[in-house]
Amino acid sequence: MTSTDPQQPSSPTPDPAEMPDPAGMLDPAETPESAGTPAGVLDPAETPTPAETVPVTEVVDPRTVRRAPRFKAFAWTGVVVGLIVSAALNLFALEPGHPTWSRSILTLEVTLAGLVVGVVWALIADRRSRR
């Protein structure tokens, strides 16, 4: 079987210049070739050059810029401090005969406590940055 039907004649491809503009975007005097760049596309002549850029300090007042803390950094710092404290507790506070599972639970609890302290510290810093 062939994909073309012999009963239907093939239609020629219409010329884009002869097609009506369905959206009414083009001026009737303009052809598609003379329409210029599409909407939303900057002409290379209109793009700003580096000489036209303005330093940020001239545009933004540094007293109004809010310096919000990065919560991820505070959380990771809390986890690292918690691991260091748990390692110190495991080495010096627990007797050598304690089972391994109790040391693991202590490490988990102290690390989570460090995470919570880090996030709370970030929340406090965030609250202070809003003033």
Task: Answer whether residue 44 shows pLDDT above 60.
Answer: yes
Amino acid in position 108: L
CA distance 96 to 90: 9
Residue 23: band (very low, low, confident or very high) from pLDDT cuts 50, 70, 90: low
Task: Answer whether residue 59 shows pLDDT above 80.
Answer: no
- Once rounded to an integer, what is the mean pLDDT over residues 47-65? 69
Is-contact 106 119, C-beta < 8 A? no
Residues 6+ apart with CB under 8 A from 39: 25
- The dihedral formed by the CA atoms of 20, 22, 25 and 30, expressed in degrees to the nearest 10: 0
pLDDT of residue 82: 95
At 35, phi and psi to the nearest 5?
-70, -15
CA distance 78 to 90: 18
Please tell me what DSSP assigns to residue 90. Answer: I
Find the length of the chain: 131
Other C-beta atoms within 10 Å of 116: how many? 13
- Once rounded to an integer, what is the mean pLDDT over residues 104-115? 93
Indicate the pTM of the whole model.
0.49
